[in-house]
Amino acid sequence: MPETITEIREIPAIKTDSEILHFITTEDPHEAEGLFAAARKVRSEHYRNEVYFRGLVEFTNYCKNDCYYCGLRRSNAGVGRYRLSLDEILRSCQIGDTLGFKTFVLQGGEDPYFPDDRVVEILRAIRGAYPDHAITLSIGERPRESYEAFFKAGANRYLLRHESACEEHYAMMHPASMSLAARKGCLYTLNSIGYQVGAGFMVGTPFQKPEHLLEDLRFLRDLQPHMIGIGPFIPQADTPFRNYPAGALEQTLRMVALARLLLPKALIPATTALGTISPVGRERGLMAGANVVMPNLSPKEVRKLYALYDNKICTGDEAAECRYCMEGRIRNFGFVPNMGRGDAAGWTASGLSS
């Protein structure tokens, strides 16, 4: 644990591939703590000690894809499927608004039940009720026209993790119907439409090598996303990857810190997956440079069914419990909640100003 480390090694600027690779792989706790301290410093220059809150609404767990790591994959007959109605989605947003959230994140599998017009209907309804809130969509790959229609209907941000920026590794985690090229294409399209865009990846997925993680960071540096989601891979019992070990906490934290150092203004969540592999995983994520948390607003009855991986936390808690639990946790580590919209630093409607 960091408290027991007396000597924090100051780290120089990390720029070259070999410097990055060194920190991806180092097992030296002093070096790692130096990396985390550097990431905290950079984060605080742009965001002080504030942590942004986003309200997550997981509105469908149907998915037409068959990713080898994900518990929502279509071949998994072991998960009970659900969809929230428009009213249920609006009710979740209303609860979130009452709790002070100014960002709603609508996340779901790639569910054909929600063609563009249904998504547009949902977006218009939320936008009508909450003109000043940020709306984040996370519903996978769609054509440019769909993304444009969603943007027009009120979506401001879009999360789409690239999962692995290395072609070969991507192909080992996904069926042949999916491609890294398509994924990257979507991300650049979203950027060009004017969304604040989130990319990201898992740490410790089967077959992943340090060079793949380097490639992930290089891709982020090229894409310059506004948001970066990084969490450990966690096996799910009904998937082809069930027998592989989970990603390591320490390496995940180092990847968070490296992402912060390479993209200083990014909004980086301390992910639920981090909180799942360690009781203080999210707090340590914040200590490694993350600055966002995403408490769950989905109705309690469906929480357990959004089973991306096993033992997911926060599945038995009401929205309010999660909201205040999270606030207490971050305050314990010296952070302060920011319930504002929390757009990326320097963000203007037409793009990043600096």
| Binding interface with ligand FES (CB under 6 A) | 295, 314, 317, 321-322, 325-326
SS3 state at 50: strand
Binding partner of 141, given ligand FES, ligand 5AD, none, CB within 5-8 angstroms per partner class: none
- Distance, in Å, from the CA atom of 83 to the CA atom of 118, rounded to the nearest integer, reads 12
**Complex with ligand 5AD: residue 11 or 255, whichever CB lies closer:** 255
Binding partner of 202, given ligand FES, ligand 5AD, none, CB within 5-8 angstroms per partner class: ligand 5AD
Token pair for 113: 């039940």
Shortest CB 158 distance to ligand FES, Å: 24
**Complex with ligand 5AD: residue 11 or 67, whichever CB lies closer:** 67
Residue 309 in contact with ligand 5AD, rule: CB under 6 A? yes
Token pair for 224: 């310059």
Token pair for 55: 């309200």
- Distance, in Å, from the CA atom of 89 to the CA atom of 353, rounded to the nearest integer, reads 33
Shortest CB 174 distance to ligand 5AD, Å: 11
Piece of 41-49, 144-152, 227-235, 345-353 that binds ligand 5AD (CB under 6 A): 227-235
CA distances, 92 to each of 41, 89, 103, 210, 314 (Å): 36, 5, 12, 40, 16
Closest CA to 188 of 177, 199, 178: 199
Q: Which of 273, 286, 307, 314 binds ligand 5AD (CB under 6 A)?
A: 273
Interaction residues for ligand 5AD, span 155-174 (CB under 6 A):
161, 163
Q: Name the H helices within the chain.
A: 17-25, 29-47, 86-98, 116-129, 144-152, 167-173, 180-193, 210-223, 249-262, 272-277, 281-287, 300-303, 319-332
Shortest CB 316 distance to ligand FES, Å: 8
Shortest CB 92 distance to ligand FES, Å: 15
Token pair for 48: 């002080």
Interaction residues for ligand 5AD, span 45-84 (CB under 6 A):
69-70
Residue 189 in contact with ligand 5AD, rule: CB under 6 A? no
Closest CA to 272 of 314, 334, 226: 314
Residue 231 in contact with ligand 5AD, rule: CB under 6 A? yes
Residue 223 in contact with ligand 5AD, rule: CB under 6 A? no
Token pair for 226: 């506004």
**Complex with ligand 5AD: residue 11 or 105, whichever CB lies closer:** 105
- Distance, in Å, from the CA atom of 135 to the CA atom of 117, rounded to the nearest integer, reads 17
**Complex with ligand 5AD: residue 38 or 187, whichever CB lies closer:** 187
Footprint on this chain of ligand 5AD (rule: CB under 6 A)? 69-70, 161, 163, 202, 231, 233-234, 236, 273, 308-309
